[in-house]
């Protein structure tokens, strides 16, 4: 007997796959270096310094102010607030990323500031159009500091004022963190590593006498160099001293450097973490 299998003649039905709604989760935005600078460093360090810098110069309503190496714009914003609606503030920086953050912060704070991309050694502005030139913690990064001073003089109107600030030379009192880091690196990584740590920035210049001479050479008068020390509250020690701060060092040397650095910072500990002195110069001068 042959058993024939009855094949179903029914047409094959393909069930549609039930589509789940596609959920696209919003990716957490990774903060850029400039955003992290504004978020982490400005409130701790650069805003307090900006108040000191602006305290050295009296801004009058209606004045035109230039902030060179404005970064994310803290000095320009505070100047704009001090001047009110009648003043004009321009910020110049060589970094488009820093300017982008500066622009969005200024919009949020309601300050009206012009932002320009440019190099301090060749400013994108006309001669004699500012009453005040400010520059905070940018000077140590200028590869041609004399050219930058010449430009500051050029863009000021006669009677214009300059206020400039930058870090003092690294020493146990002026920059104890940097001093301890340089000493530890000299010991565990050699004198060249220690020398570099003492530099603070690529074209660092912490010598008051030499700055005074350079500022005078570019034509400024009534030059004053003031020493100031601010205390920067850095948060818990472990959050900013890590082995990975020294990626070029062998593990044992990293551990030794970090250990030394932590011991050196113990005198600066308080309930909120570590509060480190930061010594700087504020230079004021006039274009007569």
Ligand X SMILES: C[S@@+](CC[C@H](N)C(=O)[O-])C[C@H]1O[C@@H](n2cnc3c(N)ncnc32)[C@H](O)[C@@H]1O
- Find the length of the chain: 288
Rounded to whole angstroms, how far apart are CA atoms 158 and 128? 7
184 touching ligand X, by CB under 6 A: no
3-state secondary structure (DSSP) of residue 147 = helix
199 touching ligand X, by CB under 6 A: no
Residue among 210, 192, 173, 207 at smallest CA distance from 249:
192
| 269-270 vs 156-167, strand pairing mode | unpaired
Please work out the total of residues on this chain that contact ligand X, with binding judged by CB under 6 A. 20
71 touching ligand X, by CB under 6 A: yes
Instruction: Please report how close the Cβ of residue 258 comes to ligand X at its closest, in angstroms.
Output: 24
Binding ligand X by CB under 6 A: which of 138, 160, 206, 279? 138
Residue with tokens 């903060």: 31
Backbone angles phi, psi at 145, to 5 degrees: -70, -35
Binding ligand X by CB under 6 A: which of 141, 179, 204, 240? 141
Q: Which is nearer to ligand X, 148 or 215 (CB)?
A: 148
| 130-136 vs 64-68, strand pairing mode | parallel
Inter-helix orientation angle 176-189/251-265, to 10°: 150
Binding segment (CB under 6 A) for ligand X, from list 58-66, 134-142, 153-161, 188-196: 134-142
- Number of neighbours of residue 221 by Cβ within 10 angstroms: 10
Rounded to whole angstroms, how far apart are CA atoms 257 and 182? 9
CA 107 to chain centre: 19
Work out the end-to-end distance of the chain between its first and last CA atoms, rounded to an integer number of angstroms.
Answer: 122
Backbone angles phi, psi at 194, to 5 degrees: -65, -40
Site for ligand X in 97-126 (CB under 6 A): 98, 119-121
Q: Which is nearer to ligand X, 63 or 93 (CB)?
A: 93
Q: Which is nearer to ligand X, 70 or 80 (CB)?
A: 70
75 touching ligand X, by CB under 6 A: yes
Binding segment (CB under 6 A) for ligand X, from list 13-21, 138-146, 216-224, 238-246: 138-146
Instruction: Please report how close the Cβ of residue 78 comes to ligand X at its closest, in angstroms.
Output: 10
3-state secondary structure (DSSP) of residue 114 = strand
Q: Which is nearer to ligand X, 94 or 212 (CB)?
A: 94
Binding ligand X by CB under 6 A: which of 35, 63, 93, 218? 93
Binding ligand X by CB under 6 A: which of 54, 65, 66, 74? 74
Binding ligand X by CB under 6 A: which of 52, 81, 82, 94? 94
Which residue's Cβ has the minimum distance to ligand X?
71
Site map for ligand X, 31-50, x if CB under 6 A? -----------x---x----
Tokens of 189: 């990584």
Instruction: Give kind and range of the element (H or E) at residue 104.
Output: helix 96-109
Binding ligand X by CB under 6 A: which of 136, 145, 174, 284? 136
- Note the residues at the interface with ligand X (CB under 6 A): 42, 46, 69-72, 74-75, 93-95, 98, 119-121, 136-138, 141-142
């Amino acid at each position: 007997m042959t058993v024939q299998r009855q094949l179903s003649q029914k047409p094959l039905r393909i069930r549609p796959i039930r589509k789940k709604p596609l959920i696209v989760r919003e990716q957490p935005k990774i903060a850029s270096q400039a955003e992290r600078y504004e978020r982490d460093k400005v409130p701790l360090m650069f805003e307090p310094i900006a108040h000191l810098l602006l305290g050295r110069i009296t801004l009058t309503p209606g004045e035109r102010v230039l902030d060179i190496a404005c970064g994310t714009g803290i000095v320009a914003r505070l100047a704009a607030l001090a001047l009110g609606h009648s003043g004009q503030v321009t910020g110049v920086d060589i970094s488009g990323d820093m300017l982008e953050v500066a622009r969005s912060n200024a919009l949020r704070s309601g300050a009206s500031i012009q932002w320009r991309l440019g190099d301090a050694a060749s400013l994108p502005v006309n001669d004699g159009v500012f009453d005040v030139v400010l520059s905070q913690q940018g000077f140590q990064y200028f590869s041609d500091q004399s050219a930058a001073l010449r430009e500051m003089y050029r863009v000021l109107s006669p009677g214009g004022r300059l206020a400039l600030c930058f870090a003092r030379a690294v020493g146990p009192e002026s920059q104890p963190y940097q001093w301890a880091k340089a000493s530890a690196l000299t010991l565990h990584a050699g004198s060249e590593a220690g020398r570099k740590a003492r530099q603070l920035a690529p074209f660092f210049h912490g010598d008051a006498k030499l700055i005074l001479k350079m500022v005078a050479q570019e034509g400024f008068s009534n030059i004053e160099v003031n020493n100031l020390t601010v205390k920067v509250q850095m948060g818990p020690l472990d959050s900013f001293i890590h082995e990975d701060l020294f990626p070029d060092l062998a593990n044992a040397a990293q551990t030794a450097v970090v250990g030394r650095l932590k011991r050196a910072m113990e005198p600066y500990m308080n309930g909120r973490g570590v509060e480190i002195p930061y010594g700087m110069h504020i230079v004021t001068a006039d274009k007569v």
